Structure 1
Amino acid sequence: MPPVEIKRFDQPDETRPFEGNGWADVVNVADHPVAAGHFEPGWRWSKNVKPIAGTDSCQVSHLGYCLAGQMRVYMDDGSEQDVTAGTVVAIPPGHDAEVIGDEACILLDFGEVADYARR
């Protein structure tokens, strides 16, 4: 039986800086990456992560919990949805997003983040 694994975001396995306005701390638990995204006011995927990803929209599937702040998600089909503190969210590939307001958005992401914002 494998041992219990415990990791802390204040000692991440990796930190991935965005092109300004934030970063993602990543821990690997049971061979699965979990990210804590710190999205500062003014952050937008198409401005701060698109240059790293090299795709027209985010192609990562996110499964997360919003700890603080607010983010608006714009799907490629034109629909929009707001993610706010205390909500659980599943975001499929094919989206842009931006922080709404003057508070940082902090999102724990248990989705397919192995290569998210990885240089």
Structure 2
Amino acid sequence: MATIVRRSFESADETRPFEEGKGRLDLLNTDQGPVGRAVFEPGWQWSKHVKPIAGTDSCQAAHTGYVLSGRMKIVMDDGTEGEAGPGDFVQVAPGHDAWVVGDEPCVMLDWVGFGDYATGAASS
């Protein structure tokens, strides 16, 4: 039997705040795996606002997602860098830092890397 699932991030299964109030991750648990919407506030940087939670030197989550608004700079451990903005699809391998560019929150959807993000698990 065909089904339709409709969920809202406004009623997320879990919300994980980032350090210093610099944003949050809203997580929906689905039959196909977790899907997250992250709101990264201006001034947010992974190495400042998630690293203390994750306990790793760089983000070890792989991300596959879509940028709804704002801009994000991503720098890989090997120095490769890029920037993503509204309408961009992104795939980012483990081993990176990232930060918000500008004074607008960066809002991203991710259907691969947010399951353990900002939890202290090794993949955060």
Identity across matched positions, percent: 51
Residue 13, structure 1, aligned to residue 13, structure 2:
yes
Comparing 84-93 and 2-11, the one that deviates more:
2-11
Stretches of structure 1 that go unaligned for 5 or more consecutive residues are none
Residue 34, structure 1, aligned to residue 56, structure 2:
no
Q: CA separation in 1, counterparts of 2:2 and 2:26?
A: 25
State the SS of the aligned residue for 1:64: strand
What is the TM-score normalised by the length of structure 1? 0.95
Greater helix percent: which structure?
2
State the SS of the aligned residue for 1:47: helix
Q: Which amino acid aligns with 2:92?
A: I
Stretches of structure 2 that go unaligned for 5 or more consecutive residues are none
Q: Which amino acid aligns with 1:14?
A: E
Cα deviation 1:52-104 (Å, max 9, x = unaligned):
10000000000000000000001000011001011000000000000000000
RMSD in angstroms over aligned alpha carbons?
A: 1.2
Q: Paired residue for 2:97?
A: 96
What is the TM-score normalised by the length of structure 2? 0.91
Superposed structure 1 runs of 4+ greater than 6 Å apart: none
